[in-house]
Structure 1
């Protein structure tokens, strides 16, 4: 008997429907075709054990299974459950009347229990678009898929429940999620707060400007000055997720299998902090079976690169294009996938190998030329994509011992959100542009052009500080953000002066 069961293949962060055709006829052989990978081929053994342990008979017939479309590679163990259900239906062990109404995915254990899968959210979105009535998947993924409205989501624990459901012997419970409640849950709750930071007012201001305009930022300072501490608190002052951003970010983490257990929708912007030994592929994504890299997992959030010069040069260089295009395309011989990668890059580094160049109390012991050599580990083109450079000095004892709490993250966030609202209104008619950091050269000339006095100040600064030409546009972008924080329609000299102060590494005499 020929039956059709429906599953899905995840490509990038989107899913494609897969039709699994199963035909049981006279014979003894087992054929699985349609470009399955090794893990799909191995499902034969898992399916036999799961069916038999669950009390059903595996058919002693020739079984031919075709996974269509045949030109799409089928990867992973999530096809175990639809393949098993197709075999049971083709052998008439279960009824096949309702199979076309449901999309089925799940990995089988040898005892018939169903294990979680990756990519449940994009598969659920596709199932809704394709007009399926419901989605049957592992219980651990049910809340994640239930975010999609208008689709019945059934979480199951073993193959017996699915078989009895199609035979009309069991009613499965629909999983429901209150999307509004899930979206708002925990948005305003952060473990780390800027009120814990003592001193460092100039750095906190730089982080506020970076958050308000979506600017990339680098902090340079000696060990123990608080670079990592403040970077970890940056998430607490970023604008809350929009629903669209939350869904897109959750899809990426779902595909990568990085969603925490029981989480249906991410409520906080991601903060990714890879170690400096990371490989190129782990950073930007790819592999034999492409997966999102750290830059995509940081989409709509923060990518923190601590000890920036210690990263492999090739790892930093492959990030240059994604920083500009805000997406990464991974190409293979037969296909290519595209992952979004719109993130804020926050980096931290010591000023020299010993860490104490420009320290107010400790002398630098590096030999001549070592500071410039250390800085040269980070290429000019990468620094060109970082808008704000800020130096950090150690906090004096008087500040550390002061018990007065600093300004809370919630107060800073209010100013950031207000500035982002101004930018959203400014760019509302321009698709793909949401903040000042994304402005093109033409838009900079239109929205961030300084007045005569400001232009004179900028020209003088570039000449006296020997600022490079690449600093010009970055200064204007940052000054536009500072003006937005001041609710000023025009970029004034005071805004330019502050933005110029955030280009330390562009100064020709910075490294001595």
Structure 2
């Protein structure tokens, strides 16, 4: 006696439809689960047996073998519980086998038969629809998320008994309280306004340039200068995500368990600000078995802010070099390889020294020279070479007046982004911060006078060739904010100033 249905296995953000087959043989009672399950999936045997009996259904007293095909694909997590249970009931003849075979089943089972929400429903349902299997049963706590997928025919259920009754089982369906989606951890976040920042006109302009051109940013200044306030206001300057980006970002947060389906797709750029004690795995992703996305991937199409950046371990800082260049993270583990997008804007904030008082003449600083070198030595040259803007943020003064509000600056950012989209239409680039230096050089033409200052900085050794390319990117963004079609020599000079003012220059 054989039952069949489908589930979805996630490897990173990629979903693979899995055929779940259950074979019941008249032999000594046993329950075997095969097909490369991980430990949490292997435990489904006990959860399924308890859930079936708690739902008022008879557990088949036979030898049960459940196969997850393809057997070479690693399967992780508890989202296979419902599929294993329903295909076992189909093999026992307790539900309509033909009806079960036409649906994809996702969900974790409680011992009382209730369905619990699981992670990654959005990419899982999208994979099922793409594979031509649009009919999906999910826990009620995941229904809003699953319904975001175009073309999906979603059936929400509170318990195994409800699903069995839908497939023709003769079972009483008790009223149960739906299990809330406790995995949705994002809280409402009111975006702070730039008007709260007093003074700091140069740093505000640097923040505007960073937002307009998708440039990475380093801010160096004493404690209380407003570095953290400025970084927290960068997402408010960024435009809303387009449809494709919103789906991709939402899928990342769904897999990470930080997505609230009640708000629909993630339309605003995310903001991640991990503590300086964070480990490399928490930043780039990891965990036992198949790796989960870390803060860098959760910040995809948004902002990753590292406050007190030199306090992070060197291992954490060096792991950021791959996503800064490639826009994705490839995580290799024994259970498989996962790819997560990680095209974020990196914002680093640092004090000028460990005590934070090495400003001006530095008379109040108590740090020894070797302490200062060791402190900034964490920010390696290869990492800083990838940071387009490097600014000094002086101490704030009580007499400083507030500047423009976020809404005013955001309008200029949107106009600059629109100019860049038009310029790079037909290419894979969206913003100046993504464009290779050779293309920017070609757009400038043959007049080397425009980049004479860059040539001199490279010859003196104060700027690398990669750094020169990044200055050129910033120059194009400065021109876009001013409404010019191409940068002039003053734009290049201003971009060079924005690049070489910080400690990392």
Distance 1:507 1:155, change over 3 A: closer
Deviations 1:156-182, CA, capped at 9 Å, x for gaps:
1111110111118899xxxxxxxxxxx
Residues of 1 paired with 2:94 and 2:393: CA distance?
A: 70
Distance 1:448 1:102, change over 3 A: farther
2:470 corresponding residue in structure 1:
474
2:425 corresponding residue in structure 1:
428
Structure 2 residue corresponding to 1:499, chosen from 488, 491, 495: 495
The offset of 1:280, in angstroms, is: 1.6
Q: Which stretch of structure 1 is more off in the superposition, 358-367 or 271-280?
A: 358-367
The offset of 1:456, in angstroms, is: 3.4
1:175 corresponding residue in structure 2:
none
Residues of 1 paired with 2:334 and 2:398: CA distance?
A: 60
Structure 1 spans left out of the alignment, 5+ residues: 172-185
Deviations 1:322-358, CA, capped at 9 Å, x for gaps:
2111111112356422111111000100011110112
Distance 1:71 1:469, change over 3 A: closer
1:411 corresponding residue in structure 2:
408
Cα pair 2:35 2:69 within 8 Å, conserved: yes
The offset of 1:92, in angstroms, is: 1.3
2:93 corresponding residue in structure 1:
92
Residues of 2 paired with 1:356 and 1:293: CA distance?
A: 33
Structure 2 spans left out of the alignment, 5+ residues: 174-186
Give the root-mean-square deviation of aligned CA atoms.
2.4
Residues of 1 paired with 2:366 and 2:445: CA distance?
A: 44
1:283 corresponding residue in structure 2:
283
Q: Which stretch of structure 1 is more off in the superposition, 478-487 or 87-96?
A: 87-96
Residue 438 in structure 1 maps to residue 439 in structure 2: no
Residue 271 in structure 1 maps to residue 271 in structure 2: yes
SS at match of 1:346: strand
Q: Which stretch of structure 1 is more off in the superposition, 341-350 or 50-59?
A: 50-59
Residues of 2 paired with 1:497 and 1:250: CA distance?
A: 40
Distance 1:487 1:56, change over 3 A: same
The offset of 1:425, in angstroms, is: 1.4
SS at match of 1:137: strand
1:352 corresponding residue in structure 2:
353
Deviations 1:111-132, CA, capped at 9 Å, x for gaps:
1111111110111111111222
Q: Which stretch of structure 1 is more off in the superposition, 496-505 or 29-38?
A: 496-505
The offset of 1:461, in angstroms, is: 5.9
Residues of 2 paired with 1:289 and 1:484: CA distance?
A: 43
Deviations 1:433-467, CA, capped at 9 Å, x for gaps:
11111111321212356955433344456678944
Residues of 2 paired with 1:441 and 1:470: CA distance?
A: 8
1:227 corresponding residue in structure 2:
227
SS at match of 1:347: strand
Cα pair 1:33 1:65 within 8 Å, conserved: yes
2:183 corresponding residue in structure 1:
none
In the TM superposition, 1:336-375 aligns within 5 A as: 336-359=337-360, 363-375=364-376
Cα pair 1:271 1:304 within 8 Å, conserved: yes
Structure 1 residue corresponding to 2:481, chosen from 481, 485, 507: 485
Residues of 2 paired with 1:377 and 1:37: CA distance?
A: 38
2:67 corresponding residue in structure 1:
66
Cα pair 2:40 2:76 within 8 Å, conserved: yes
The offset of 1:145, in angstroms, is: 1.0
SS at match of 2:390: strand
Residues of 2 paired with 1:261 and 1:240: CA distance?
A: 18
Q: Which stretch of structure 1 is more off in the superposition, 198-207 or 32-41?
A: 32-41
SS at match of 1:63: strand
Cα pair 1:206 1:390 within 8 Å, conserved: yes
The offset of 1:196, in angstroms, is: 1.4
SS at match of 1:291: coil
Q: Which stretch of structure 1 is more off in the superposition, 113-122 or 46-55?
A: 46-55
SS at match of 1:127: helix
Distance 1:72 1:455, change over 3 A: closer
2:383 corresponding residue in structure 1:
382
Residues of 1 paired with 2:278 and 2:444: CA distance?
A: 37
Structure 1 residue corresponding to 2:452, chosen from 450, 456, 464: 456
1:181 corresponding residue in structure 2:
none
Residues of 2 paired with 1:441 and 1:499: CA distance?
A: 14
Distance 1:21 1:145, change over 3 A: same
Residues of 2 paired with 1:306 and 1:120: CA distance?
A: 33
Cα pair 2:290 2:333 within 8 Å, conserved: no
Cα pair 1:106 1:138 within 8 Å, conserved: yes
Alignment TM-score, normalising by the size of structure 2: 0.91
Cα pair 1:465 1:507 within 8 Å, conserved: no
Residues of 1 paired with 2:72 and 2:192: CA distance?
A: 48
In the TM superposition, 1:37-76 aligns within 5 A as: 37-76=38-77
Distance 1:351 1:450, change over 3 A: farther
Residues of 1 paired with 2:134 and 2:327: CA distance?
A: 35
Cα pair 2:212 2:417 within 8 Å, conserved: yes
Cα pair 2:5 2:102 within 8 Å, conserved: no
The offset of 1:68, in angstroms, is: 0.6
Residues of 2 paired with 1:131 and 1:25: CA distance?
A: 31
Cα pair 1:228 1:348 within 8 Å, conserved: yes
Residues of 2 paired with 1:339 and 1:434: CA distance?
A: 20
Residues of 2 paired with 1:120 and 1:240: CA distance?
A: 23
2:12 corresponding residue in structure 1:
12
Residue 210 in structure 1 maps to residue 210 in structure 2: yes
Distance 1:283 1:44, change over 3 A: same
Alignment TM-score, normalising by the size of structure 1: 0.90
How many matched pairs?
A: 489
